[in-house]
Amino acid sequence: MARTNATNFSGGLQFPYATAGTDLFKKEDVQTLALAVDGHDHSTGKGLPLVAGSIPSGTITSAMIANGTIVAADIATGTITSNEIADGTIATADLANASVTNAKLASDTARANQLTNGGFEVWQRGNGPYTATGVYTADRWLLTLVGSDTLSVSRNTANVDTSLGSNYCAACTFTLGSGGGATSLSQPLKTGDANQLASRQVSASVRVSTGTASAVRIGVHDGTSWTYSSFHTGTGTYQTLTATATIGGASTAQVGVFFAGSCTAYLDNAMLVVGSQPADYAPLPPADDLARCLRYYEIVGGAGGSDIMIRGWAGGAGQNIDQSFRFRVTKPITPTMTKVGGWTNANTSGLAMPSFTADAVRVEITSTTTGDTWTLNSPGGSWLTAEANP
């Protein structure tokens, strides 16, 4: 005779069972077994615990999981995707410090513009039109003609990029000749001008509007070659053209707008930022915008005139009367000084600028006889300019 007790049931539910055919049969054993079956819920002492294989795949629902019990260790690495995250719920505290890279920035993240007068807002030389090669148009924007192409650039208010609050844009009327798409309006950023873009990846963006497809695109020069954007599609509305390149070591960066087909195009709101992601145009305060331009071009004297006078008493002919003007902004190199217009002179043949540096200019008048000697920037349209193009 042999009997043993069930090992997966305990207490009042632990039923005995026979291990041999000669074992004594007791009705109490059946009663205990019935109780065990009735109380069988896989908890301790009430049968074998459940194992993973006992549960069919895909049958555990969130209702079977107690709230707040899933921990990070229960989630496989790299399995949570943006679909599992509700929009607008990631907070700053969820991001590790110093972990957001340039590549993650959207274009509307404002960044420092490396261009001067990227908005085409400042036209110190006048409103144009400018048509000659090698001349500056809007401040710092250089017109370069290739072959028999023609390009006329002028300031424009009627076609500005109003979506970004622009006041002025550059209106460009282009006729394709033999230039092959190389005629441009560009802005160089030379290392000799203390720019620090060498060996950096930079991204340019320019707002362009034209009704002619495949006529206008932009480019970034890395010191060796150009990297171009796609062409404007000719919708007649503003599109943002972008290009990204890594500037070579000790090289001059350059941003250019290129014309490959006869068209009228409007250029506005250009940006050049460090990094792989182009940025939308971020305007500078007007004072800062002008201050950048003054580094390269500066006007001494107002358009109305009569605000610059050099005057003194000469004891005889041939006496020099000098005066110095300090530039508002130091130039990158010694500028070309121009006396613009016909000044009004008394007892002198006119003003000369015998010496100047990147910081200041000395102007001089020479008397023709004894007496009151002066020159005045009158009538209007008479002033001095300092132009320094590194």
Which of 268/298 has CB closer to other proteins?
298
**Quick check: helix, strand or coil at residue 84?**
helix
Closer residue to other proteins in complex, CB, 346/353? 353
327 lies in the site for other proteins, by CB under 8 A: no
Can you state the percent helix, strand and coil of the chain, rounding each to 5?
10, 35, 55
Peptide bond into 283 cis (omega under 30): no
Give me the least distance between CB of 268 and other proteins, in Å please: 21
> With contact defined as beta carbons under 8 Å apart, do 123 and 267 qualify?
no
Does residue number 315 form part of the binding site for other proteins (CB under 8 A)?
Answer: no
**Among positions 33, 146, 182, 340, the unique one binding other proteins when judged by CB under 8 A:** 340
**In the complex, minimum distance from the CB of residue 320 to other proteins, in angstroms, rounded to a whole number:** 7
Q: Does 106 bind other proteins (CB under 8 A)?
A: no
Phi, psi dihedral angles at 350 (to 5 degrees): 140, 175
Alpha carbon distances (Å) from 125 to 128, 193, 293, 298, 300: 8, 21, 11, 9, 12
* 173: contact with other proteins by CB under 8 A: no
Q: Does 191 bind other proteins (CB under 8 A)?
A: yes
d(Cα 65, Cα 62) in Å, to the nearest integer?
5
Q: Which residue in 54, 42, 53 sits closest to 8, CA to CA?
A: 42
| 196-209 b/e (C-beta count within 10 Å ≥ 16 → b) | ebbeebbbbbbbbb
Does 335 bind other proteins (CB under 8 A)? Our answer is: yes
- Our finding on whether 316 is near other proteins (CB under 8 A) is no
Q: Which of 130, 141, 168, 325 binds other proteins (CB under 8 A)?
A: 130
What are the angstrom distances between the C-alpha of 86 and each of 134, 292, 346, 376? 55, 44, 79, 71
Which residues neighbour 110 within 8 Å (Cβ) at sequence distance 6 or greater? 279, 280, 282
Among 33, 110, 346, 358, binds other proteins (CB under 8 A): 358
Q: Which two tokens stand for residue 230?
A: 């796609």
* Nearest-approach distance from CB 124 to other proteins, in angstroms: 8
The single residue among 9, 327, 356, 374 that binds other proteins, judged by CB under 8 A, is 356
Output 323 or 389, the one with its CB closest to other proteins. 389
Binding residue (CB under 8 A) for other proteins from 64, 71, 93, 132: 132
Scanning residues 369 to 388, which ones bind other proteins (CB under 8 A)?
381-382, 385, 387-388
The residue among 273 and 363 lying less far from other proteins, judged by its C-beta, is 363
Asked whether position 339 contacts other proteins by CB under 8 A, the answer is yes
Report how far residue 233's alpha carbon sits from residue 217's, in angstroms, rounded to the nearest whole number. Answer: 10
| Choice between 33 and 198, CB closer to other proteins | 198
- Residue 250 binds to other proteins (criterion: CB under 8 A): yes
Size of site (CB under 8 A) for other proteins: 43
DSSP assignments along 166-197, one per residue? -S-EEEEEEE-SS-TT-EEEEEEE-GGGT---
Contacting other proteins (CB under 8 A), which of 5, 19, 233, 338? 338
Q: Which residue, 71 or 132, has its beta carbon nearer to other proteins?
A: 132
Residues 6+ apart with CB under 8 A from 205: 107, 218, 240, 241, 242, 270, 271, 278, 279, 280, 281
Question: Using CB under 8 A, which of the segments 8-16, 39-47, 96-104, 122-130 binds other proteins?
Answer: 122-130
Q: Does 40 bind other proteins (CB under 8 A)?
A: no
Q: How far is the CB of 74 from other proteins (least distance, A)?
A: 56
Biggest CA–CA distance in the chain, Å, is: 152
Q: Is 334 in the site for other proteins (CB under 8 A)?
A: yes
Residues near other proteins (CB under 8 A): 125-126, 130-132, 134-136, 190-192, 194, 196, 198, 250-251, 320, 322, 332-343, 352-356, 358, 381-382, 385, 387-390
